[in-house]
Structure 1
Amino acid sequence: MSDKKKVLMLHGFVQSDKIFSAKTGGLRKHLKKLGYDLYYPCAPHSIDKKALFQSEAEKGIDAAKEFNTSATTDEVYGWFLRKPDYFNSFEINQSVFDYLNNYVLENGPFDGVIGFSQGAGLGGYLVTDFNRILSLTEEQQPALKFFISFSGFKLEDKVYQKSYDKAIQIPSLHVRGELDAVVAESRIMALYESWPKDKRTLLIHPGAHFVPNSKPFVSQVCNWIQGTINKDDEEQDVRLETEQEQFEKPQLDDDLLDMIDSLGKL
């Protein structure tokens, strides 16, 4: 098993691994300095950008601008597709989970998951029970240390709700753009509120639907990761010390009890 620190990067709808890698250059550079390698899988569903906006109300919408993708390529993908006639209803095909299972086995294990838009929606669902959903053992994928959502949303379909109902233990950072017109604030906050209060952090930037790459903002994200990892390490050290004390104390008590019992028999 590799000692490298790795992050699973899940791109947005109408993007690709290459596009998301290009859009997160600043973040990748800073995380590289912290010892993290970023891995970008590409969603299996090919998307026809030209067929996205065909209704009279939607004509003229620029897909590249709408989804923060690339205007120079038609090779774009999605993790899942919207159900016909339902705006916020999605069905994730088993092939997506199978693909990510193989990707983790071939490239992981991973320390964290970072997603944007649809990729963050998928990531937020996955980290509710990562190993169960992707059929991975603890040896194949130890517990994740963090999750970061850029414009991510909670999946609303009934079939996914049980996973959100239990207390999620993976620390999360939820990033929202004040001018984001693609994913409504209420949907972003629904994902944020799925986490216990002590396991979630909200960060707001003044822009729209994208992953900010400015140095000050990226520094905030990296500081959060470091603070989260260090906090977990400190809590683990405290637990180990407490367990050691509890282990030693009963031994002393047992010795004293044995002495008392032996005295009573003299």
Structure 2
Amino acid sequence: MGSLAAETPFIAAAAFEGRRRRRPRFLCLHGFRTSGEIMRTQVMGKWPNSVTSRLDLFFADAPFPAEGKSEVEGIFDPPFYEWFQFNKGYTEYRNFDECLAYIEELMIKHGPFDGLMGFSQGAFLSAALPGLQAKGFGLTRVPPVKNLVIIGGAKFQSPDLAEKAYGAKIKCPSLHFIGDLDFLKPYGEALLDAFVDTTVVRHPKGHTVPRLDEKSLEAVLGYVERIEKDLEETELSDCVEAVEV
């Protein structure tokens, strides 16, 4: 009979196979003056089941009620929210630290999360959070952000905040959606330079959550499969450690 140490990987593998596979869980951050429910409608209504059924998506509302008219008023029902406030040049921000603290509380209460998915203002945040976290400027009480889905995003324009967020290359894998008619397209292109490992999906629409054609669906599914593989390897490793204990 083999030793317990030799049998440990097989015991762990059997235990792992007996568990229900966990879907990658994403915290979803909606656009400016919209809501979590609106982003749910945008994503779940446009992306096929072959993608959404493989992800566990948590759609949160931003902490602050909209301080002005929403661009989606008349299309979607209120209430509308915003993550923080900013000046016309997008170089000064109000309630930004409060926003970071709020997101951290969401991650503690509803996590653990395997990544962040953001659209518009939520995409600005999602893209910046790994860098801010790595330098200790936010999310200090939760594990490092592992994956990102950025839809219609860009860099923050404040030099100070930009240095904190993008001063070092962001290493976590990221999936970027860039629209040909998006007014943020050049800024979304510039954002790619902040990352080491990017997958880019280009679409013909504007500033929106796009539908997926055959080519973009293939790219998205490839990204999801990569996350699933990493999650599977992590959970198998946890099983091995539990058996050894």
Alignment TM-score > 0.5, same fold: yes
2:24 touches 2:231 (CA, 8 Å); kept in 1? Answer: no
> Partners of 2:108 and 2:150 in 1: how far apart?
23
Q: CA deviation at 1:49?
A: 4.2
CA 1:72–1:168 in structure 2 vs 1: closer, same or farther (change >3 Å)? closer
Bigger relative contact order (CA 8 A; separation at least 6): 2
Could you list the runs of 5+ residues in structure 2 that have no partner in the other structure?
1-20, 238-245
Q: Which amino acid aligns with 2:102?
A: Y
2:25 touches 2:115 (CA, 8 Å); kept in 1? Answer: yes
Counterpart check, 1:27 vs 2:47? yes
Aligned length in residues = 211
- Summarize deviations over 1:208-253 as a string: whole Å, max 9, x none: 11111346366235323235337758999xxx9xxxxxxxxxxxxx
Q: Which amino acid aligns with 2:50?
A: H
2:38 touches 2:76 (CA, 8 Å); kept in 1? Answer: no
Match of 2:166 among 149, 164, 167: 164
CA 1:232–1:15 in structure 2 vs 1: closer, same or farther (change >3 Å)? same
Which residue is equivalent to 2:117?
114
Question: What SS is found at the alignment partner of 2:194?
Answer: coil
Q: Which runs of 4+ in 1 moved over 6 A?
A: 233-236
CA 1:187–1:114 in structure 2 vs 1: closer, same or farther (change >3 Å)? same
2:23 touches 2:228 (CA, 8 Å); kept in 1? Answer: no
> Partners of 1:100 and 1:180 in 2: how far apart?
26
> Partners of 1:178 and 1:43 in 2: how far apart?
28
CA 1:11–1:88 in structure 2 vs 1: closer, same or farther (change >3 Å)? same
> Partners of 2:78 and 2:52 in 1: how far apart?
30
2:179 touches 2:206 (CA, 8 Å); kept in 1? Answer: yes
Match of 2:221 among 220, 223, 242: 223
Where do residues 229-240 of structure 1 align in structure 2 (5 Å cutoff)? 229=227
Question: Aligned Cα RMSD in Å?
Answer: 3.0
CA 1:32–1:187 in structure 2 vs 1: closer, same or farther (change >3 Å)? closer
Which residue is equivalent to 1:43?
62
2:124 touches 2:153 (CA, 8 Å); kept in 1? Answer: yes
Question: What SS is found at the alignment partner of 1:94?
Answer: helix
Counterpart check, 1:6 vs 2:25? yes
TM-score by length of structure 2 reads 0.74
Which residue is equivalent to 1:206?
204
Q: CA deviation at 1:172?
A: 1.1
2:51 touches 2:221 (CA, 8 Å); kept in 1? Answer: no
> Partners of 1:164 and 1:71 in 2: how far apart?
35
- Summarize deviations over 1:52-95 as a string: whole Å, max 9, x none: 7xxxxxxxxxx22xxxx762424211112222xx3222415222
> Partners of 1:175 and 1:192 in 2: how far apart?
11
| Identical counterparts, % of pairs | 26
> Partners of 1:48 and 1:11 in 2: how far apart?
16
Q: CA deviation at 1:4?
A: 5.0
Which residue is equivalent to 1:245?
none
Which residue is equivalent to 1:76?
80
Larger radius of gyration: 1
Q: Which amino acid aligns with 1:177?
A: G
2:92 touches 2:158 (CA, 8 Å); kept in 1? Answer: yes
2:83 touches 2:99 (CA, 8 Å); kept in 1? Answer: yes
TM-score by length of structure 1 reads 0.69
1:127 touches 1:147 (CA, 8 Å); kept in 2? Answer: no
Question: What SS is found at the alignment partner of 1:226?
Answer: helix
Q: Which amino acid aligns with 1:111?
A: D
Which residue is equivalent to 1:55?
none
